[in-house]
Amino acid sequence: MRVLVVYNFDGCRLGQIGAALDEAGAEIDLVRAHRGEPLPAGPQGHDGIVILGGVQNALADDSSPWLPGLIDLMRDFADSGRSLLGVCLGSQLLARAYGGANLIGGASEFGWQPVELTAGGAADPLFAGTPASFPIFQWHDDTFTLPPGATRLATAEGVENQAFVIGRAAYGVQFHFEADRALVAEWGRDYADLLARIQPGWAGRHAAEAARHGPGSDAAGLAIARNWVRTIART
């Protein structure tokens, strides 16, 4: 099993997705697109692709000139029936790739927040073994409309589109299920100054929220990661 992983920002890494891929013995080809590393011309040679988050928005082609090519590559993977997983920015790019509208700003979520499965989500293999509602870590400002032909899998009170699927196994997930408590704590240290400005008091309440919500979030996130890896079919 060989999986292409695309970074759009150094701070957004595989986390629990990496743990699930390691368990499956997957070989990972990493492209740091934001550092100028080239994307492959097509999906050949890879059984799946993971597109992670970033600080840019999904329409930032001028400042992130690799985005149009990445969107084309994502569409090639999905159209070929290969498994695709877009997380946060990756989900927004998947929506763009299939005709959804990117809505920039006005959809801020941060911290452990509850999400709920739709009927489609409860029946989808991505969420096998997860509760119907669970806490999960969020950090984003943007959202999107559901692309034509997509099925909404998870929703939340403030931001309707939390997860969706297109075709056989092209998944967009807005929330950071890859971020376990250790990664969230690392973000808190690495971006302490930023968080002090945009989320006043986070440093003080982080430990209590991690203790309250972290175990359920970590368990759901790892289950989702393992479930996605199970969708990968050798090509």
Where residue 35 falls among pLDDT bands split at 50, 70, 90?
very high
pLDDT on residue 66: 98
Label the pairing between strands 83-87 and 170-173: parallel
pLDDT on residue 233: 79
Where residue 47 falls among pLDDT bands split at 50, 70, 90?
very high
Whole-number percent of the chain with pLDDT over 90: 98
Residue-wise pLDDT for 105-139, tens only, equals 999 999 999 999 999 999 999 999 999 999 999 99
Residue-wise pLDDT for 49-105, tens only, equals 999 999 999 999 999 999 999 999 999 999 999 999 999 999 999 999 999 999 999
pLDDT on residue 234: 67
pLDDT on residue 232: 96
3-state DSSP of the chain: CEEEEEECCCCCCCCHHHHHHHHCCCEEEEEEHHHCCCCCCCCCCCCEEEECCCCCCCCCCCCCCCHHHHHHHHHHHHHCCCEEEEECHHHHHHHHHCCCCEECCCCCEEEEEEEEECHHHHHCHHHCCCCCEEEEEEEECCEECCCCCCEEEEECCCCCCCEEEECCCEEEECCCCCCCHHHHHHHHHHCHHHHHHHCCCHHHHHHHHHHHHHHHHHHHHHHHHHHHHHCCCCC
pTM for this predicted structure: 0.97
pLDDT on residue 235: 61
What mean pLDDT comes out for the span 179-204? 97
Where residue 204 falls among pLDDT bands split at 50, 70, 90?
very high
Where residue 170 falls among pLDDT bands split at 50, 70, 90?
very high
